[in-house]
Amino acid sequence: MSSKVIKNGTVVTADLTYKADVKIEGDVIVEIGPNLSGDETLDATGCYIMPGGIDPHTHLEMPFMGTYSADDFESGTRAGLAGGTTMVVDFCLPSPGQSLLEALQMWDNKSGKASADYSFHMAITWWDEQVWREMDDVVKRGITSFKHFLAYKGALMVNDDELFASFGRCAELGALPLVHAENGDVVAAMTAKLLAEGNNGPEAHAYSRPPEVEGEATNRAIMIADMAGVPLYVVHVSSEQAHEAIRRARQKGMRVYGEPLVQHLTLDDSEYANPDWDHAARRVMSPPFRNKMHQDSLWAGLQSGSLSVVATDHCAFTTEQKRNGIGDFSKIPNGTGGLEDRLAVLWSRGVNTGRLTMNEFVAVTSTNIAKILNLYPKKGAVLVGADADLIVWDPARKKTVSAATQQSAIDYNVFEGFELTGLPRFVLTRGKVAVIENEMHHEPGHGKFVGREAKNPVNRALSQWKELVAPRKVERSGIPASGV
Ligand SMILES: NC(=O)NCCC(=O)O
Ligand SMILES: [Zn+2]
Ligand SMILES: [Zn+2]
């Protein structure tokens, strides 16, 4: 088997920084140490060798709000690789009433053209005994996380009784529930009021979803997860209110993971005041962008560990698709891109500013995600035996973000004009060099589905504790006769 050696670089992992060469044979890392040699050499002089990015939250070719997100598994994974993301975890989204297994078949069909590895979360968009039963089959197929929407009333939203039942089922199966935490009832009422008052522009999308809507739903989901005895992963945490609920829960020992997006960390709500309708509509997503106070809170969460990972929620729509909402902001397809730029934007705004260390950067873009989703150390690690999903990161390489040069299929970029320092020199997906600076050498179909085991250590510990403190009937003798 031919080998490759990445030479002269510095290995940066979630906990260590050290000089070493990394040798790869086939799909995996076979040796790490000084003076290694192999059939092919990749020069990493001046660079950091890091685990490839994992984006735990993407929506590729997803049917949503009357259309399909524009990046599919081909363009989406290509965009990811260009920026150093070597794995995505996408959402399989059954339409309400649809069998989970049937939806999974549809997602399997779409993902064949992926150039990088991928896994799936399953969304619970409706509830009955069939869903309860099929969740077990889904787990047996290696999909061990289930997403619940508390928003999108009348479409994807589930109620509290359904949430509690599904969380309980996750606990039984050793699976991880995820939650989109916004109070869908309140959003629907505020949306109707804003529209009735003539507030129909994209800026009203943000008014319809204030931080309180997110704080309430986050707290509710956390409490319900605690009662069900499962850990909880809160997607796209955008506000101090949601972060506060997560922080408080974690201080009490609850296993709650918060996922801010790179967009919420670096773009704020002034975008919605732009006089250009297209500019504002392109940035409509849920939750919406917030002000600087919320951004500071999210950065602080990553620094202190109360927030665990950084994702993109990549759900890209073209300008044409966004224009479905002219005259009614509630019809603008919700979602933004970010997959291609997540690492470089987070590095430039996080590591280059001193907000994050390099090791924290690796933790929140890769290793923590792999651990929470039970992919570690196959993914998220620079270790012998791990998949050779690697980035050779050049901290001196620069670019200005521009839609004109991006891989993503859409016609704009929400980070347009960002000056970035720190970009990949090489990106490897299971040992294959897919990117050399601006050149793409990816191969559609190279990406493989990565199944995940249920019952990770946190699930096991929680079930053990729940069993220990389960309600038990007190057996009594000599009970007085009733009515005496
Ligand atoms: N976030 C968003 O606006 N669109 C994607 C779907 C979702 O995650 O809610
Ligand atoms: Zn969501
Ligand atoms: Zn999403």
Angle between helices 184-196 and 211-228 in degrees, nearest 10: 160
424 CA to middle of ligand 2, Å? 29
CA distances from 84 to 7, 205, 244, 389 (A): 18, 32, 31, 9
| pLDDT recorded at residue 483 | 66
Distance, CA of 5 to CA of 3 (rounded, Å) = 7
- Ligand 1 pocket, mutate which of 312, 315, 410 (most atoms under 8 A from CB): 315
151 CA to middle of ligand 1, Å? 10
User: Among all chains, which residue has been given the structure tokens 């599904």?
Assistant: 166
Ligand 1 atom closest to Cα of residue 315: 5
Is 80 exceeded by the pLDDT of residue 258? yes
pLDDT band at 322 (very low <50, low <70, confident <90, very high): very high
How much is the mean pLDDT over the chain? Answer: 97
**Average pLDDT in the 414-425 region?**
98
Alpha helices, DSSP H only, in 37-95? 73-82
| pLDDT recorded at residue 484 | 54
Whether 249 contacts 237, CB under 8 Å: no
Quick one: tokens of 240?
Answer: 């101090």
| pLDDT recorded at residue 146 | 98
Among all ligands shown, which has an atom nearest to the Cα of 336?
1
CA neighbours closer than 13 Å in the CB half-sphere of residue 190 = 17
434 CA to middle of ligand 3, Å? 26
| CA nearest ligand 1 atom 8, residue | 313
| pLDDT recorded at residue 308 | 98
Is 70 exceeded by the pLDDT of residue 90? yes
pLDDT band at 1 (very low <50, low <70, confident <90, very high): confident
222 CA to middle of ligand 3, Å? 18
- Ligand 1 pocket, mutate which of 236, 263, 312 (most atoms under 8 A from CB): 236
| CA nearest ligand 1 atom 1, residue | 286
- Ligand 1 pocket, mutate which of 55, 57, 58, 59 (most atoms under 8 A from CB): 59
pTM value is 0.97
User: Among all chains, which residue has been given the structure tokens 């919406």?
Assistant: 288
Distance, CA of 422 to CA of 199 (rounded, Å) = 41
**Average pLDDT in the 17-37 region?**
98
437 CA to middle of ligand 1, Å? 31
What residues line ligand 1, using a CB cutoff of 6 Å?
59, 180, 236, 285-286, 313, 315, 334-335
- Ligand 1 pocket, mutate which of 313, 317, 332, 339 (most atoms under 8 A from CB): 313
Summarised one tens digit per residue, pLDDT across range 156-168 is 999 999 999 999 9
Summarised one tens digit per residue, pLDDT across range 378-411 is 999 999 999 999 999 999 999 999 999 999 999 9
81 Cβ contact list (under 8 Å, min separation 6): 115, 116, 427, 429, 434, 435, 440, 442
388 CA to middle of ligand 1, Å? 31
Ligand 1 atom closest to Cα of residue 149: 9
What are the CB-based long-range contacts (under 8 Å, 24+) for 107-113?
108/449, 110/60, 110/61, 110/72, 110/73, 111/60, 111/73, 111/447, 111/449, 112/73, 112/445, 113/72, 113/73, 113/74, 113/444, 113/445
| pLDDT recorded at residue 482 | 82
| pLDDT recorded at residue 330 | 98
Is 70 exceeded by the pLDDT of residue 2? yes
Ligand 1 atom closest to Cα of residue 334: 3
24 CA to middle of ligand 3, Å? 34
Summarised one tens digit per residue, pLDDT across range 206-250 is 999 999 999 999 999 999 999 999 999 999 999 999 999 999 999
45 CA to middle of ligand 2, Å? 40
- Ligand 1 pocket, mutate which of 124, 334, 414 (most atoms under 8 A from CB): 334
The proportion of the chain whose per-residue pLDDT surpasses 70, expressed as a percent, equals: 100
Is 70 exceeded by the pLDDT of residue 109? yes
432 CA to middle of ligand 1, Å? 32
Summarised one tens digit per residue, pLDDT across range 271-315 is 999 999 999 999 999 999 999 999 999 999 999 999 999 999 999
ipTM score for this prediction: 0.99
Ligand 1 atom closest to Cα of residue 59: 5
